[in-house]
Structure 1
């Protein structure tokens, strides 16, 4: 973890410009081809959600700008960011989970499965924003529907700087599976090129054997 020297930062003016806005957030919704990842997950007996969730986190951790956070008026760059996600319960509610990131899927998945058990054994949200901290990325999945746009609840606080990613139900097109993915970030910390880098790496990860 390091503190960014804003006065020497090549994003100084961008950061100051967007941080003055009541809503400094931007994002986009697109699709990634998840055919190979789906087939591989089923072949190996993995949860498809766990499999693509891990690949999303691998991709996030390759983009330095998506690991920047605003904390106590300073811009902090984390070495590694972790995985936060909503987890559904049988009663129709959800709870928040926090899974430490690991490049190794088996290690990551073991932590995720413990978090899923923890959510199912509790009620309410389970984790507060204070307990989650800033060194994570918020994920949610809407497994019942695909989508081409999504609106997130937003605290209009210019220091709110944790990116948000949402996934939907995959679509079938010409025999291929396409996963909807929406990503939102603080524009003072990241631009479209950085989201494009995440999506490119996410697609590359999904295509790996």
Structure 2
């Protein structure tokens, strides 16, 4: 479900009109987050750390209205909920696109995510399903690399305003478990201020217990 943003009353109307005409309207940054508490909680619960932090990221995304904005023609849709399209790896090291539905209840989210992981593992190819709407984040994990920057392959002719989030290798720094998180967002929909809100909320979610 979605509503349409009233562009006439939107303080960022001029920003929207300006940046949406760019060939490359996305901007991005990488921030190291503290995953110490989240990792310990995942281990205590006996659950996948990947799915644990994926849920925390999805909770932060859904907690900020601008991350639920999507461009549709000349309009901006405001979705009630944003799900996760994660790249899921198979045993042969290929991956397929998935759809993991967000649920604020971690147990429900975890169960649905496990089912989706198994479905992708048993389904060949890249596009393992159709996507009916763009209330998604494009999500990936690169747990082998402690990256400090990241870029994405993109088709500039493909209409796309979904945030893109990637997580890198967790490393220990001064007794804390730190993890790089890359965020790319559409500048017509948000600014650096909103990325700051996201990382602040994400850290809060990682420090909380589910």
The bucket for the TM-score relative to the shorter chain is over 0.9
Residues 10-44 of structure 1 show CA distances to partners (whole Å, capped at 9, x for unaligned) of 11100011012111111110110000100110111
Q: 1:158 to 1:92 in 2, by over 3 A?
A: closer
CA contact (8 A) 2:97 2:126 kept: yes
How far the C-alpha of 1:60 sits from its partner, in A, is 0.5
User: Which residues of structure 2 form unaligned runs of 5+?
Assistant: none
Q: What are the within-5 Å matches in structure 2 for residues 1-209 of structure 1?
A: 1-127=2-128, 131=131, 133-157=133-157, 159-209=159-209
Q: 1:159 to 1:11 in 2, by over 3 A?
A: farther
> How many residues are matched?
208
2:98 is paired with a residue of what secondary structure? strand
Q: 1:132 to 1:138 in 2, by over 3 A?
A: farther
The 1-side partners of 2:191 and 2:26 are apart by 10
Of 153-162 and 66-75, the range deviating more from structure 2:
153-162
2:104 is paired with a residue of what secondary structure? coil
The 1-side partners of 2:65 and 2:91 are apart by 37
How far the C-alpha of 1:86 sits from its partner, in A, is 0.4
CA contact (8 A) 2:120 2:128 kept: no
CA contact (8 A) 1:24 1:187 kept: yes
User: Which residues of structure 1 form unaligned runs of 5+?
Assistant: none
CA contact (8 A) 1:22 1:158 kept: no
Q: TM-score, normalised by structure 1?
A: 0.95
CA contact (8 A) 2:38 2:208 kept: yes
Q: 1:83 to 1:33 in 2, by over 3 A?
A: same
The 1-side partners of 2:122 and 2:74 are apart by 37
How far the C-alpha of 1:158 sits from its partner, in A, is 7.7
1:146 is paired with a residue of what secondary structure? coil
The 2-side partners of 1:56 and 1:74 are apart by 26
CA RMSD of aligned residues (A): 1.3
CA contact (8 A) 1:82 1:99 kept: yes
The 1-side partners of 2:152 and 2:19 are apart by 19
Of 154-163 and 110-119, the range deviating more from structure 2:
154-163
